[in-house]
């Protein structure tokens, strides 16, 4: 490891890797430490079948019009699915209640309800408020259940824990998909960055003479440290700050928790989907339980079942088999029982208990959308912060993490120039 680099970066996810590249561009040295055996963090792909990559974390290139990973993929020769139809648009989604597909009239009513909810959320922010989404929508509607399920999978949090202003701050755009895994894209793009793997930070001592970072592989000293770990890791005090973080930073960490969204990927040994099955399906029962299903989007005989919020945490705690059973029940509700005869492989994610993230991605609590700015704020030109939770507009995304890394590296450069 570099003896005394200009900066110590903690975490080799999208944020840490982009910060490393930007620091090099700014001619500053760094040591990048990563607790895991691999780079990428929450961008991670595994083969669910030969040559068929399943993303356990990020899979969509959101805000594709401006997403920096789009030109990065193009330059690396990585194939993106760039059709601009919005897979998630309400009028494209098929809806199933208790296993029965909504008819045209019911679907129109559902879309109307969704539209009303969106308008209320936007209006609330426009009035300068930051309410819980649950306070803005009609929960007695027969279409409240799919709205709640859809919101929990999108935001990783239930609507009573979701800040309406945070939602409105997110810039809408096209979603591009990627054939061979977003995780693989990040791995290839970040592959040349020197990283000290299997190096877990346990504490950061910071004082007027600099920072001292304790890891399982020894101590590293520098003048500045850039922390890119999730707010889940920070809130759990897995890294001890000595002295402790100021109250305003602690408040920001609590206000923008890392929440849970899990996926269950199922690969089938043959094509079990009809041509019209491709796309997103919402399914729920009278108890308000359900999921969002993405079927065969890449044409590789794979379905992904998404669950979010408290239900996702609960399901994760029941273990992988219960998660898979739930997913298969959801699939048979929509595609019929026969698909059970053709299951080839499955992957069940467990982000709530993943020890290096403690959650999937961040969602600001009601009243706290503005805390993302505090989360990003440096302390005493010693402690800098990046990561998906520290950016507004592209929050909770992989490219948002990338942008936050560049922002933090530029803040560091500016501060070091002005010394």
Ligand X SMILES: Cc1cc2nc3c(=O)[nH]c(=O)nc-3n(C[C@H](O)[C@H](O)[C@H](O)COP(=O)(O)OP(=O)(O)OC[C@H]3O[C@@H](n4cnc5c(N)ncnc54)[C@H](O)[C@@H]3O)c2cc1C
Q: How many CB atoms lie within 10 A of CB 333?
A: 22
Among 145, 396, 409, 412, contact with ligand X (rule: CB under 6 A): 396
| Smallest distance, ligand X to C-beta of residue 132, A | 22
Stretches 6-14, 82-90, 279-287, 410-418: which one binds ligand X (CB under 6 A)? 6-14
Measuring CA to CA, how many Å separate 305 from each of 8, 67, 348, 386, 388? Answer: 38, 25, 9, 30, 23
Yes or no: say if 302 and 343 are a contact pair by the CB < 8 Å rule: no
Give me the torsion for CA of 375, 377, 378, 384, rounded to 10°.
50
- Quote the tokens at residue 171: 């810039």
Is residue 351 at the binding interface for ligand X, with CB under 6 A as the rule? yes
Is residue 241 at the binding interface for ligand X, with CB under 6 A as the rule? no
Is residue 165 at the binding interface for ligand X, with CB under 6 A as the rule? no
Q: What SS3 class is residue 383?
A: strand
User: Would you say 72 or 109 has its CB closer to ligand X?
Assistant: 72
Is residue 35 at the binding interface for ligand X, with CB under 6 A as the rule? yes
Pairing of strands 302-308, 177-178: unpaired
Alpha carbons 396 and 390: distance in angstroms, whole number? 9
User: Would you say 19 or 133 has its CB closer to ligand X?
Assistant: 19
| Smallest distance, ligand X to C-beta of residue 397, A | 3
| Smallest distance, ligand X to C-beta of residue 291, A | 13
Is residue 8 at the binding interface for ligand X, with CB under 6 A as the rule? no
Yes or no: say if 378 and 221 are a contact pair by the CB < 8 Å rule: no
| Smallest distance, ligand X to C-beta of residue 213, A | 9
Is residue 291 at the binding interface for ligand X, with CB under 6 A as the rule? no
User: Would you say 62 or 110 has its CB closer to ligand X?
Assistant: 62
Yes or no: say if 143 and 290 are a contact pair by the CB < 8 Å rule: no
- Quote the tokens at residue 180: 């061979």
Alpha carbons 30 and 14: distance in angstroms, whole number? 16
User: Would you say 143 or 174 has its CB closer to ligand X?
Assistant: 174
| Smallest distance, ligand X to C-beta of residue 263, A | 5
- Where on the chain is the footprint of ligand X (CB under 6 A)? 10-16, 33-36, 41-43, 57-60, 62, 200-201, 228-230, 233, 238-239, 261, 263, 349, 351, 356-357, 360-361, 387-388, 396-399, 401
């Amino acid at each position: 490891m570099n003896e005394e680099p200009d900066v110590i970066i903690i975490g080799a996810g999208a944020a840490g890797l982009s910060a490393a590249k930007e620091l090099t561009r700014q001619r500053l040295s760094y040591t990048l430490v990563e607790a895991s055996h691999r780079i990428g963090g929450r961008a991670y792909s595994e083969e669910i079948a030969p040559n068929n990559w399943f993303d356990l974390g990020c899979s969509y290139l959101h805000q594709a019009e401006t997403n920096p990973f789009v030109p990065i993929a193009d330059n690396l020769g990585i194939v993106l699915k760039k059709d601009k139809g919005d897979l998630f648009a309400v009028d494209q989604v098929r809806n199933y209640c208790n296993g029965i597909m909504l008819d045209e009239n019911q679907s129109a009513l559902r879309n109307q309800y969704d539209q009303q909810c969106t308008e209320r959320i936007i209006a609330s922010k426009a009035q300068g408020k930051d309410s819980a989404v649950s306070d803005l929508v009609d929960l007695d509607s027969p279409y409240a259940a799919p709205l709640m399920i859809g919101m929990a999978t999108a935001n990783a949090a239930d609507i009573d824990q979701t800040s309406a202003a945070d939602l409105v701050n997110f810039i809408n755009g096209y979603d591009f998909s990627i054939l061979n895994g977003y995780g693989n894209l990040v791995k290839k793009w970040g592959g040349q960055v020197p990283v000290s793997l299997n190096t877990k930070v346990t504490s950061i001592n910071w004082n007027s003479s600099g920072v001292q970072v304790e890891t399982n592989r020894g101590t590293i000293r520098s003048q500045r440290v850039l922390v890119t770990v999730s707010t889940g890791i920070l809130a759990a005090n897995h890294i001890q700050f000595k002295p402790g973080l100021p109250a305003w930073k602690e408040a920001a960490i609590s206000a923008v928790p890392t929440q849970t969204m899990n996926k269950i990927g199922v690969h089938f040994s043959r094509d079990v989907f009809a041509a019209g099955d491709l796309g997103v399906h919402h399914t729920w029962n009278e108890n308000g339980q359900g999921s969002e299903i993405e079927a065969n989007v890449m044409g590789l005989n794979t379905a992904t079942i998404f669950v979010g919020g408290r239900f996702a945490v609960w399901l994760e705690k029941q273990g992988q088999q219960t998660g898979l059973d739930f997913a298969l029940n959801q699939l048979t509700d929509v595609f019929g029982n026969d698909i059970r005869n053709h299951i080839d492989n499955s992957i069940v994610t467990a982000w709530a208990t993943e020890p290096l993230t403690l959650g999937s991605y961040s969602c600001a609590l009601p009243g706290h959308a503005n805390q993302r700015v505090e989360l990003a704020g440096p302390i005493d030109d010693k402690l800098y912060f990046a990561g998906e939770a520290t950016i507004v507009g592209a929050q909770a995304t992989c490219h948002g993490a990338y942008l936050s890394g560049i922002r933090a590296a530029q803040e560091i450069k500016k501060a070091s120039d002005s010394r």
